[in-house]
Amino acid sequence: MKCRRTAIKVVKNCDGTGARMADTSKFGISRRGLLGAFAASLVVAAPTYSNAFGLLRGAGDIRRIRMYSGRTGESIDTIYWIEGKYIPEVMTEVNHFMRDWRSNDVIGIDARTVDIMAAAHRLMDVKEPYMMLSGYRSPRTNAMLRSQSGGVAKNSLHLKGQAADLRLKSRSVGQMAKAAAACASGGVGRYSRSNFVHMDCGPVRSWGG
């Protein structure tokens, strides 16, 4: 357990108060596309951390997520899954980071969404962290956004902690969408005018331009 705690990098300006973690043990990764995305980068990723964490010596599989929020000024850069298991302490930090920043409401983020985000990031071979525009949305926030834009779904997966809107300076919307779509594990929305991509763990589908 001590080794797992060592792998956590602290979220800046974030105390995690009130965060509740998801039951991530039920989220087995069964889709070949998502597994392939992680496998494609394992050879590169494993040596990067083997010198830092003794637990990883022996070529154990890892998953890492890197994000920052322009709204809160917080950032997170951490390994959240290692050798077949999600790290509960890290998932709690992810839940808090992806909270509704308008209301500070926290929900257990579906770990499959984090997996898609991380896999797409690795496929793009980029060091830049995602800018997260929207993670979890409370019902009140979603209703407010719907009143301002026709592009916000009434039953948005953001309400369930199953979606994220993301941006990268070094990659285009098209490049991000292609990487997410290659995972074949959820929905991918292109929002070129607003310069972001929606990724979720719902049914496989795509939209936008």
pLDDT of residue 196: 96
> Is 5 part of a structural domain of the chain?
no
Number of domains in the chain: 1
Range of the domain at 66: 61-208
- Evaluate whether 168 touches 132 at the Cβ level (below 8 Å): no
In the chain, the DSSP E strands lie at: 62-68, 75-82, 85-86, 130-134, 163-167, 187-191, 196-200, 205-208
Mean residue pLDDT across the chain: 79
Tens digit of each residue's pLDDT (9 = 90 or more) over 107-144: 999 999 999 999 999 999 999 999 999 999 999 999 99
Instruction: Residue 86: name the closest of 2, 6, 23, 164 by CA.
Output: 23
CATH number at residue 67: 3.30.1380.10
Tens digit of each residue's pLDDT (9 = 90 or more) over 148-177: 877 788 889 999 999 999 999 999 999 999
Is 0.85 topped by the overall pTM? Answer: no
> Is 19 part of a structural domain of the chain?
no
Q: Residue 83 corresponds to which amino acid?
A: E
Phi-psi region of 153 (alpha: psi -120 to 50; beta: other; left: phi over 0): beta
Q: Residue 17 corresponds to which amino acid?
A: T
